[in-house]
Chain A
Amino acid sequence: MQYFLNEQQQMVRSLARRIAEEKIIPVRAELDEKEEFPWPIMKELAAADIFRVFIPEQYGGLGGDWLDLCLAIEELSRGCGGVAISYAASALGASPLLEYGSEEQKQKFLPDIASGKKLAAFALTESAAGSDVSAISTSAVREEGCYVLNGSKLFITNGGEAELYTVIAMTDKAKGPRGASAFVVEKGTPGFSFGKKEKKMGIRSSVTRELIFRNCKVPEQNLLGREGMGFILAVRTVERGRLGVAAQAVGLAQGALEAAVAYARKRIQFGHPISSFQAVQHMLADMAMELEAARSLVYATAKTIDSGAKSFSEEVAMAKVFATDMAMKVTTDAVQILGGIGYMRDYPVEKMMRDAKVTQIYEGTNQVLRSAIALDLLKRKAMRE
């Protein structure tokens, strides 16, 4: 398929692939087994300028196009879903700054994210507020020169490892969703601590932690946008993050398909390679078709955003649901094609299947997103311009 990638996009893809091949694939099983945060790989990504991809040039980046970011996430995910999400979560954490940060805030925080010196994270979810983000209860009370944060955030990717956190908290509970605001909170701020590290099914080299705020004073200069903009900002951020998850799913599926094809060609049963059996061939064909369809949808959505579209929530939702359901199916089928070996941890496909599962859950569950797509569809009376 010809996706008409520009020069930089081709470079991003080839370099990210090379990093995956040389630095990630050799250690991914160990990272998964030990549930170890991949700092050495983060350093490699930083040295190779991969964190610069999603930041504009004036803040030390390389332009900040979404397709570039998607390509990086896809290629890293082909190697390891956990490494890729640690990278992508930094982009997610930086996204509100990019869209709503003041010039001063951008100058202050973005160059370190671009150079990879600091990782970022995005904190919205709470124990009582998952799909229903309007239920968040972390509070931010204005005081002299600062906001005092109280409450906790659950399941935060890069929690504890990141230096910069975009946190959504209620500045005015009475106003409901219009009473939420967004803050940049730096690690080390007094009153800001971390809960336990979650033990996960997949993406185990990434960290997921609770963030705890106890009378945590955040300087008022760290408010993003204005008071009350927190939800719009959160929705916009998560929308973009969704596309990253879709790219992650495409990369995971690509890795699984490659493993399945390679194995099918060399595994002999009944005197023939299993790739000669039509049942296996059809599985491989379905995997390849659905994967390419998902990739096309993800790239087209990224290009839509890059071309300056104002609203793209429906497109992003479609890409996310389609790509992540595809990845779950393709990785599961890859395990099937490898048979018993596929179920063993010596081969990478069972990890890919575990890694794929979360893509259907985070950044908006596929059920919630299907409802959103349907709602849009029904509002339009099923007509498309």
Chain B
Amino acid sequence: MNVVVCIKQVPGTTEVEIDPKTNTLIREGVKSILNPFDVYALEEGVRIKEQHGGKVTAISMGPPQAEEALREAIAAGADEAILLSDGAFAGSDTLATSFVLAKACTKIADYDLIICGRQTIDGDTGQVGPELAENLGIPFVAYVSKIEEIKDGRMRVRRMIEEGYEVIEMSLPGVITVVKEINVPRLPSLRGMAKARSAQIPIWTAQGLGVPMEKVGLLGSPTRVIGIFRPQRTRRGELLQGSLEQQVEELVDKLRQAKTV
């Protein structure tokens, strides 16, 4: 099983400031971390490798400093890491990001599974995983909380839904996004950290990936962020108190007043 794990470097806080003029994230002066969900993705990849053999390749599209996140991935058990970086990628939205990631996976070629986090803590869209699968034309399952079995080119997973979970079988190669319930990530090891320090991390550019300029960066990003606001809380709940009988009476009264019964 060769696993590709997509990781993104994000600001180490959930309170990112947004530039009111450009509506883009202000990243200066904030310490960068590995997107928390991607840490679970990575751990799952490493566990699959430990059970089934193969290797784990971490990829990230980002500025040169995203190399740091890739070194962290190696310390946590990834065998290889590739940085997808090019001035032309700047300003990419999820469509352009997933396009570049798909090109990289195609170039890697011998993958059986691609694992992403459920979403990032900065962009927060959760769109990259499904778009990546769409670009590659392979199956996709979101919010995976458990991998039950991998056998004969197929994989059975549990996927979280609001009321519980679904069990889905998918054929491989495929893409999944994972939730934090899937595992408890291990801490890095000293040998892993030493390996991470000395690892060579190749950089794949737009040209190396053969991506046309109009498909990446601002040109390839149809998303326009027009405004960002906190939605108004329009629904109000009300907690009824007292004994069960009292509560039922009060509820029926209220429903009558509202003319719903």
Interface residues of A (CB under 8 A from B): 7-8, 11-12, 15, 18-19, 22-23, 44, 47-50, 52-53, 62
When the two chains form their complex, are residues B187 and A62 in contact, meaning their CB atoms are under 8 A apart? Answer: no
Contacts of A62 in B (CB 8 A): 190-191, 194
In chain B, what residue has the closest Cβ to A49? B190
Q: What residues on B are CB-neighbors of A22 within 8 Å?
A: 187
Q: List CB contacts (< 8 Å) of B185-216 with chain A.
A: 186-194, 197
- Contact status B187-A47, CB under 8 Å: yes
Q: Give the docked Cα–Cα distance between A8 and B187 (Å).
A: 17
10 sample A-B contacts, Cβ–Cβ < 8 Å, listed by A number: A8-B190, A15-B187, A15-B188, A15-B190, A19-B187, A23-B187, A44-B187, A47-B186, A47-B189, A62-B191
**Cβ-neighbour of A12 out of B188, B190, B197 (below 8 A):** B190
Q: Which residue of B lies closest to A19 (CB)?
A: B187
A202 to B197, CA, bound (A): 39
Residue contact B190 to A7, C-beta cutoff 8 Å: no
A277 to B239, CA, bound (A): 48
Q: Tell me the smallest distance from the CB of B197 to a CB of chain A, in Å.
A: 7
**Complex Cα spacing A12 to B191, Å:** 10
How close is B40's CB to chain A, nearest CB, in angstroms?
Answer: 15
How many angstroms from the CA of A180 to the CA of B188 in the assembled complex? Answer: 43
Partner of B197, one of A7, A50, A52: A7
Instruction: Kindly list chain A residues whose C-beta atoms are within 8 Å of the C-beta of B194.
Output: 8, 11, 62
Q: Are B190 and A53 in contact (CB under 8 A)?
A: yes
The chain A residue with its CB closest to the CB of B193 is A11
In Å, the complex CA distance between A8 and B192 comes to 12
Known: A23-B187, A47-B186, A49-B192. 8 other contacts (CB 8 A): A8-B190, A11-B190, A11-B194, A15-B187, A15-B190, A47-B187, A47-B189, A48-B187
A18 and B194 alpha carbons, distance in the complex (Å): 16
Q: Are B188 and A48 in touch, CB under 8 angstroms? A: yes
Residue of B186, B187, B194 with most partner-chain A CB within 10 A = B187
Kindly state the interface size class of chain B when it binds its partner: 10 to 19
CB neighbours (8 Å) of A52 from chain B are 190-191
A48 to B187, CA, bound (A): 7
Chain B residue with the shortest CB-CB distance to A50: B190
Complexed CA–CA distance, A23 and B186 (Å) = 11
The 7 closest A-B pairs by CB, nearest first: A49-B190, A49-B189, A48-B189, A11-B193, A49-B191, A48-B187, A11-B190
Chain B residues near A7 (CB, 8 Å)? 197
- Separation of A73 and B96 alpha carbons in the complex (Å): 49
Contacts of B190 in A (CB 8 A): 8, 11-12, 15, 48-50, 52-53, 62
Instruction: Report the nearest B residue to A68, measured CB to CB.
Output: B190
Q: How far is B190's CA from A47's CA once the two chains are assembled, in angstroms?
A: 9
B160 to chain A, nearest CB (A): 25
Query: Which residues of B138-196 are within 8 A (CB) of A?
Result: 186-194
* Complex Cα–Cα for A98 and B137 (A): 58
A22-B187 Cα distance, complex, nearest whole Å: 9
Residues of A within 8 A of B187 (CB): 15, 18-19, 22-23, 44, 47-48
Kindly provide the distance from the CB of A18 to the nearest chain B CB, expressed in whole angstroms.
Answer: 6
CB nearest to A10 among chain B residues = B193
Report the separation of the CA atoms of residues A144 and B218 in the bound assembly, to the nearest whole angstrom.
83
Question: A48 to chain B: which residues have CB within 8 Å?
Answer: 187-190
Shortest distance in angstroms between B58's beta carbon and chain A's nearest beta carbon? 20
Taking the closest CB of chain A, its distance from the CB of B186, in whole angstroms, is 6
Residues of A within 8 A of B193 (CB): 11, 15
- Chain A residue nearest to B192 (CB atoms) is A49
Chain A residues with CB under 8 A of B188:
15, 48
A12 to B189, alpha carbons, bound, how many Å? 9
CB distance from B114 to the nearest CB of A (A): 26
**From residue B193, how far is it (CB to closest CB) to chain A in Å?**
5
Chain A: minimal CB distance from B88 (Å): 35
Q: How far is the CA of A8 from the CA of B190 in the complex (A)?
A: 8
Centre residue among B186, B190, B192, B193 by max chain A CB count within 10 A:
B190
**Whole-angstrom distance between the Cβ of B163 and the nearest chain A Cβ:** 32
A323 to B197, CA, bound (A): 34
A47 to B252, CA, bound (A): 60
- B residues less than 8 Å from A50 (CB atoms): 190
Interface residues of B in 81-111 (CB under 8 A from A): none
Cβ–Cβ < 8 Å partners of A23 in chain B: 187
Chain B proximity of A287: nearest CB distance (Å)? 30
CA gap between A43 and B197 in the complex, in Å:
24
When distances are taken between beta carbons in the complex, the residues of chain A under 8 Å from B191 are 49, 52, 62
Q: Chain B nearest CB: distance from A368 CB in Å?
A: 36
User: With a CB–CB cut-off of 8 A, which chain B residues contact A47?
Assistant: 186-187, 189
Compute how far the CA of A12 lies from the CA of B187 in the bound complex, rounded to whole angstroms. 13
Distance from A185 Cβ to chain B, minimum over Cβ atoms (Å): 30
- A62–B189 alpha-carbon span in the complex (Å): 12
Once bound together, how far apart are the Cα atoms of A47 and B188, in whole Å? 8
CA distance A201 to B168 in the complex (A): 54
- Chain B residues with Cβ under 8 A from A12's Cβ? 190
Q: Which residues of A contact B192 (CB under 8 A)?
A: 49
Q: Which residue of A lies closest to B191 (CB)?
A: A49
